[in-house]
Chains A and B, each alone.
Chain A
């Protein structure tokens, strides 16, 4: 059974930094592309960023609102994907979900999410 378990969500001040983790199991993690998707309170979903598998170059891509501030990385030895968030803004407040980035943007498996609150 596929399992994705996010952690690291917290209350942080504007301008601060945070690292989210997502521990994966139940599938061949090293072959998977992984994405982060966020959901602002009471609002919709927003794709944040993606890292390809090492075989596919481990390249990353980001949504415009977070480009230059967020970094997605992976550690295949730990079956874990990370979201490094810098220069946080109040509008980054959201539940952050880890997902398997399937063919052409299909997200078939999701974690339970972790809440990031950016507030002074």
Chain B
């Protein structure tokens, strides 16, 4: 059982928007603005897409955006493209000596 809760799957058609949720507690997601999101294609290492809730690393398209309300963070992918089909994982700083917790992952399917 993962520390953060994500839906196992999400889907959308090309051009549409999809939002993936990530629910934690006041000890992680709700307590800090340090939520990250990772994209992982099959057989590849995870790639950082969002950090500190809503910031994008250089090179990540602005179609990817993040937000947070209370104990739940969200990743929105707008203008879905075929290459966005992947697994997405959230993570959060959990205080207490810089520990980190992950969600169980969401498989995004582009229909």
Q: Do A and B come from one complex?
A: yes
Please list the residues of chain A having a beta carbon within 8 angstroms of any beta carbon in chain B: 33, 35, 37, 43-47, 50, 61, 63, 97, 101-108, 110-113
Which of A37, A45, A47 touches B105 (beta carbons < 8 Å)? Answer: A45
Contacts of A50 in B (CB 8 A): 98
Report yes or no: A101 in contact with B98, Cβ–Cβ below 8 A.
Answer: yes
Closest to B50 in A: A106
Please list the residues of chain B having a beta carbon within 8 angstroms of any beta carbon in chain A: 2, 32, 34, 36, 38, 45-48, 51-52, 57, 89, 91-94, 97-105
Contacts of A44 in B (CB 8 A): 2, 89, 102-105
Contacts of B52 in A (CB 8 A): 104, 106
Report yes or no: B34 in contact with A105, Cβ–Cβ below 8 A.
Answer: yes
Report yes or no: B38 in contact with A107, Cβ–Cβ below 8 A.
Answer: yes
> How many angstroms from the CA of A7 to the CA of B34 in the assembled complex?
30
